[in-house]
Amino acid sequence: MKNVNLGLLPRLVIGIIAGILIGLYLPEWTGRMLYTFTHLFGQFLVFMVPLIIVGFIAAGIAELGAKAGKLLAGTAGLAYGSTVLAGVLAYFVSTGIIPMFITHSDVGEGASGLTPFLEISTPPIFGVMTALVTAFVFGLGINYLKQKENRTTLFAWIDEFRSIIVLVIVKVIIPFLPIHIAGIFADMAASGEAFQTLAVFARVFAVIIGTHFLWILTQYTIAALRTGTNPFRAIRGMLPAYTTALGTMSSAATIPVTLQSVKSIGVSERTAEFVVPLSATIHLAGSTITLVACSVAVLILNGITPEFGIFLQFILLLGVTMIAAPGVPGGAVVAAIGLMASVLGMTDAQLGLMFALYMAQDGFGTACNVTGDGAISLMVDSMDTTPEA
């Protein structure tokens, strides 16, 4: 990611506060006007979901194929396994703890809320699963043509298509997201749910951050069993990367510090310089923990039982989606909205709430991502027996 929008979180907070004030104190037509924008913007997000999936996953697969070899296979496999296992851990921790302080009754049964002045349906070109299959077919096909026949026309096309999707995310979705969130909270305030929702999710963040730390410790314990490295010393060596990621909210922007930290814990230069930049793109275990935990909380809050079978499907698909998540603030949750809607059945309002919740802790999720990159680097380094040139 080239530009890190550090002002997004304050704008989201302002949007939440403004939405609540509009829903509580301003005339109803004001709230309805704001909620009309939220409705239309939500439809636009639904339309963009399959395009985001195709653009990022197809291009991501085509790019990864250019780096064939044991390092790629080992890094990609460990990154996917880490992401999936982190999601499973988050599910069991969340379903074990969150119901202790969140129930459906925590949402008040107030007024009916707001209705938009104008309702327009903008259905997507195709569904989420169709988009995933299409992305894999084109990604693998483009990779084959590029590697075996040196044909790069389609690769250039899919790369430009991804650039257009990034442009939409950076110039449209992210800038207008605070207004979208404001409309959601205006509706929640009008129906009497806003303050209850904010109160219960303050405790959810503690569960999320605790799970982040638990997964970091688990990763380095596994790495220590293979490499003999002291896990606590390795984690201490990754602290500069962790603290930097808290501020940048970007794995990509943290790469220089992550490289230094990874080398300081004993990873060879060749492995570090290959694994760290690649993991910054494909390893988002911390983001997955956040998405799973917040999803569990949102469903429980709305009286829905988070069943493991459904969440396992969500996590397995999320592991693939995270590999190609765009490198912008909130990119992981943008890439995951299709799965949250199709697999978990979330409504537009619930998806908007997921945006706000995710962005509120984005720095911690990113910090967990990059710290875990050190553990993956240690394990990949132990598998690489080729002497350095």
Question: What is the model's pLDDT at position 92?
Answer: 95
Match 């409309």 to its residue by tokens.
183
Question: What is the model's pLDDT at position 248?
Answer: 63
Question: What is the model's pLDDT at position 194?
Answer: 59
**Rounded (10°) angle between helices 285-301 and 194-227:** 150
Parent domain of 264 = 8-383
In this predicted structure, the answer to whether residue 273 has a pLDDT above a threshold of 60 is yes
Q: In this structure, is residue 374 part of a structural domain?
A: yes
Reading the block at residue 88, the tokens are 């499973």
Question: What is the model's pLDDT at position 193?
Answer: 62
Q: In this structure, is residue 100 part of a structural domain?
A: yes
Contact 209, 364 (CB under 8 A): yes
In this predicted structure, the answer to whether residue 58 has a pLDDT above a threshold of 70 is yes
Total residues found in the chain within this entry:
389
Question: What is the model's pLDDT at position 113?
Answer: 64
Q: What is the mean pLDDT of residues 69-82?
A: 79
385 Cβ contact list (under 8 Å, min separation 6): none
Question: What is the model's pLDDT at position 218?
Answer: 95
Q: In this structure, is residue 389 part of a structural domain?
A: no
If one counts the domains in the chain, the total is 1
Q: Dump pLDDT digits (tens) for 362-379.
A: 778 888 999 999 999 999
> Which of the listed ranges 130-139, 177-186, 189-198, 259-268 does the model predict with the highest average pLDDT?
259-268
Reading the block at residue 193, the tokens are 């749910």
Reading the block at residue 233, the tokens are 């010393």
In this predicted structure, the answer to whether residue 107 has a pLDDT above a threshold of 70 is no
Question: What is the model's pLDDT at position 1?
Answer: 36
Q: In this structure, is residue 3 part of a structural domain?
A: no
In this predicted structure, the answer to whether residue 172 has a pLDDT above a threshold of 70 is yes
179 Cβ contact list (under 8 Å, min separation 6): 15, 34, 37, 38, 41
pLDDT confidence tier of residue 105, bands split at 50, 70 and 90: low
CATH number of the domain that 260 lies in?
Answer: 1.10.3860
Match 């310089």 to its residue by tokens.
273
**Rounded (10°) angle between helices 28-53 and 153-168:** 160
Q: In this structure, is residue 388 part of a structural domain?
A: no
Match 């009497």 to its residue by tokens.
192
Question: What is the model's pLDDT at position 184?
Answer: 78
pLDDT confidence tier of residue 97, bands split at 50, 70 and 90: very high
Q: Is 359 left (phi over 0), alpha (psi -120 to 50) or beta?
A: alpha
Question: What is the model's pLDDT at position 291?
Answer: 92
Output b/e per residue, 344-362; b: 16+ Cβ within 10 A: bebebbbbbbbbbbbbbbb
Contacts by 240-246 with C-beta closer than 8 Å and gap 24+?
241/367, 241/370, 241/371, 241/373, 241/374, 242/367, 242/370, 242/371, 243/367, 244/370, 245/363, 245/366, 245/367, 245/369, 245/370, 245/371, 246/363, 246/364, 246/366, 246/367
Computed over every residue of the chain, the mean pLDDT equals 80
Q: In this structure, is residue 139 part of a structural domain?
A: yes
**Alpha-carbon torsion 247, 339, 357, 23, what sign?**
positive
Cα(195)–Cα(370) distance, rounded to whole angstroms? 34
In this predicted structure, the answer to whether residue 50 has a pLDDT above a threshold of 50 is yes
Q: In this structure, is residue 344 part of a structural domain?
A: yes
Cα(193)–Cα(113) distance, rounded to whole angstroms? 9
Question: What is the model's pLDDT at position 68?
Answer: 43
Q: In this structure, is residue 2 part of a structural domain?
A: no
Share of the chain above pLDDT 70, in %: 84
Q: Dump pLDDT digits (tens) for 209-267.
A: 999 999 999 999 999 998 888 999 999 999 888 888 876 676 766 777 888 889 889 88
